[in-house]
Amino acid sequence: MNIGLDMMGGDFAPLEAVKGAAEFLSSATANVHLTLIGDEEKIKEHLNSYPIPAGKYTIVHAAQVIEMNDHPTKALKEKQQSSIAIGFHLLASSKTDAFISAGNTGAMMVGALFSIKAIEGVLRPAIGAYMPREDGTLGLLVDVGLNADCKPENLNQFAILGSLFAKHILNFDEPKVGLVNLGEEEGKGNILAQATYPLLKQNKQINFIGNIEGRDILLNKANVLVCEGFTGNVVLKLAESIYDIVRRRNIHDEHFDRFNFEQYGGVPVLGVAKPVIIGHGISHAMAFKNMIRISARMLEIDLMGKMKSSFLEQA
- For residue 129, the domain's CATH number is 3.40.718.10
308, part of any domain = no
Whether residues 244 and 285 share a domain: the answer is no
Q: Is the residue at 114 inside a domain?
A: yes
Q: Which of 38, 249, 53, 239 is nearest to 134 (CA)?
A: 239
The most distant pair of C-alpha atoms in the chain lies apart, rounded to whole Å, by 61
Q: Is residue 30 domain-shared with residue 107, that is, in the same domain?
A: yes
Q: How many angstroms separate the CA atoms of 35 and 232, rounded? A: 32
| Residues 187 and 285 reside in one and the same domain | no
Q: Residue 315: pLDDT above 70? A: no
pLDDT in tens, 21-47: 999 998 877 799 999 999 999 999 999
Q: Are residues 181 and 281 in the same domain?
A: no
| Amino acid at position 177, single letter | V
- The total of structural domains in the chain comes to 2
| Residue 309 located in a structural domain | no
Per DSSP bridges, beta strands 33-38 and 126-132 are unpaired
Q: Given this model, what pLDDT does residue 26 score? A: 87
Q: Look at residue 160 and tell me if it is in a domain.
A: yes
pLDDT value for 30: 74
pLDDT surpassing 90 at residue 153:
yes
Domain residues for the domain of 165 are 123-261
Radius of gyration of the chain (CA): 19
Neighbouring C-alpha atoms within 13 Å toward the C-beta of 285: 12
- pLDDT of 296-309, one tens digit each? 999 999 999 999 99
Domain annotation covers residue 312: no
* Residue 143: cis peptide before it, omega within 30 degrees of 0: yes
Q: 96 to each of 158, 216, 275, how far by Cα in Å?
A: 26, 39, 10
Element (H, E) at 100: strand 98-101
Report percent pLDDT > 70 for the chain.
99
* DSSP class of 215: G
Alpha helix (H) residue ranges in the chain:
15-27, 40-47, 72-78, 83-92, 105-111, 152-168, 191-202, 229-248, 254-257, 285-300, 303-314
Burial 272-287 (b: 16+ CB within 10 A, else e): bbbbbbbbbeebbbbb
**Residues 24 and 111 occupy one common structural domain:** yes
- The 10s digit of each residue's pLDDT in 227-280 is 999 999 999 999 989 989 999 999 999 888 888 877 787 889 999 999 999 998
Judgement on whether residues 22 and 98 belong to the same structural domain of the protein: yes
